[in-house]
Amino acid sequence: MNSLIRFAVVAAWLSLGFANLDAAEAKRHVVLLSGESLYGSATTLPRFAKRLEQEHGYRCTMVVRKEEHRFPS
């Protein structure tokens, strides 16, 4: 689980820090990863993404793990 969290933090940092360096007016992009079923992040992260888009002007993409696949750890 710690590996997944580290991966998500690094992915978010990279997408925020290096996305669209040439386009000064482009929206920053956040990629949200949901890969577990215990905490229901597939339901709560879309609400968080909507808030980021509406209140802070980010562009958000959701990546949800399918049961037969796993995120690298």
pLDDT of residue 48: 94
Position 1 scores a pLDDT of 58
Q: To the nearest whole percent, how much of the chain has pLDDT over 70? A: 63
pLDDT on residue 42: 84
Domain ranges of the chain: 2-64
At 40-52, the pLDDT tens digits run 888 889 999 999 9
- Render pLDDT for 21-41 as a digit per residue (tens, 0 to 9): 555 567 799 999 888 778 888
Q: Which of 11-39 are b and which e, b meaning 16 or more Cβ less than 10 Å from the residue's Cβ?
A: beeebeeeeeeeeeeeeebbbbbbbeeee
